């Protein structure tokens, strides 16, 4: 059963859209992952993320792709990388992550409403 929260709790989570501008393998990570640099527009700027999305994606295919990310979590140190944003996705039947994204392009930095 899902825990009930107040709408105000949801509003505190700052989910924004951004465009991946850099993606590369992250061999130092404990689990297979990529290092991402995501452009969240002029208000938030460029943010780094570590994402365990290696099953369905290749770094070269991620460049230019818009993704959703939580931008107001505190940064996490993941090996030598300081992950500044949580890139969002859903687990498929096998547990591999499929990125959450917009249906159509929207300006970087727009907040999930």
Cα 35 from Cα 29, distance rounded (Å): 10
Per-residue pLDDT at 1 = 77
In a domain, 110, yes or no: no
Residue 2 has a pLDDT of 86
Tell whether 51 is covered by a domain: yes
CA distances to 3, 4, 19, 96 from 62, rounded to whole Å, are 33, 35, 9, 16
Whether residue 111 lies inside any domain: the answer is: no
pLDDT at 29: 86
Range of the domain at 77: 7-99
Domain count, the chain: 1
How far is Cα of residue 13 from the mean position of the Cα atoms in its chain?
Answer: 14
Helix (H, G, I), strand (E, B) or coil at 32: coil
pLDDT at 49: 97
- What phi, psi does 43 have (nearest 5°)? -70, -40
- Would you say residue 22 lies in a domain? yes
Which residues of the chain have a pLDDT value below 70? none
CA 105 and chain centroid, separation: 16
CATH of the domain at 54: 2.40.50.140
Cβ count within 10 A of residue 110: 16
Domain assignment present for 24: yes
pTM, to two decimals: 0.93
pLDDT averaged over every residue in the chain: 95
Residue 109 falls within a domain, yes or no?
no
Contact (Cβ atoms closer than 8 angstroms) between residue 99 and residue 87 = yes
In a domain, 12, yes or no: yes
């Amino acid at each position: 059963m899902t825990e009930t929260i107040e709408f105000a709790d949801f509003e505190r989570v700052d989910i924004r859209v951004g465009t991946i501008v850099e993606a590369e393998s992250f061999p130092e990570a404990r689990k297979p992952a990529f290092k991402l640099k995501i452009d969240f527009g002029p208000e938030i700027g460029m943010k780094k993320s570590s994402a365990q999305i290696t099953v369905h994606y290749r770094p070269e295919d991620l460049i230019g792709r818009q993704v959703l990310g939580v931008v107001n979590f505190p940064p996490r140190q993941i090996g030598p990388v300081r992950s500044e944003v949580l890139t969002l996705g859903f687990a498929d039947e096998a547990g591999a992550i499929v990125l959450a994204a917009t249906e159509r392009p929207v300006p970087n930095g727009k907040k999930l409403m």
